Amino acid sequence: MQDQATYNAQRVAERADSGTYGRDRQAIKRTKGGRYLAEITKEELLQLQHLPIDAAAEKLGVGTTSLKVRCREVGIKKWPFRDLQRAVSKVERSKKRDHQVCAC
């Protein structure tokens, strides 16, 4: 059985080709980069988590709001960039603090 993202992308493409939108009009709308939102996978999003959301949206060719919508659809509640940066700076501060204690 194919995964949900692949199924959605195929369904979106079929509806776009046939011109039938129905209530899923928003789901099959092309982004400014020419992609369908349903084509963006969770794996693709997670590969860009080291970037700020604006940069990730630009790289994918979608708007920031569309990216946020797609993240929520695939189960990412919040863009992880700030949390990652916070964790990195916490580790760096800890290393700096440990180094100062050892220098005495």
Q: How many domains does the chain have?
A: 1
What is each CA distance from 74 to 34, 71, 97, in whole angstroms? 20, 5, 39
Q: Binning pLDDT at 50, 70 and 90, where does residue 94 land?
A: confident
Residue 30: which domain range? Answer: 4-103
Give the pLDDT confidence of 2-29 residue by residue, as tens digits. 677 777 777 777 766 555 445 555 556 6
pTM of the entire predicted model = 0.58
Compute the average pLDDT of residues 32-48: 86
Nearest Cα neighbor of 6 from 44, 34, 51 is: 44
- What angle is formed at CA 50 by the lines to CA 45 and CA 55, rounded to 5 degrees? 75
Compute the average pLDDT of residues 40-50: 92
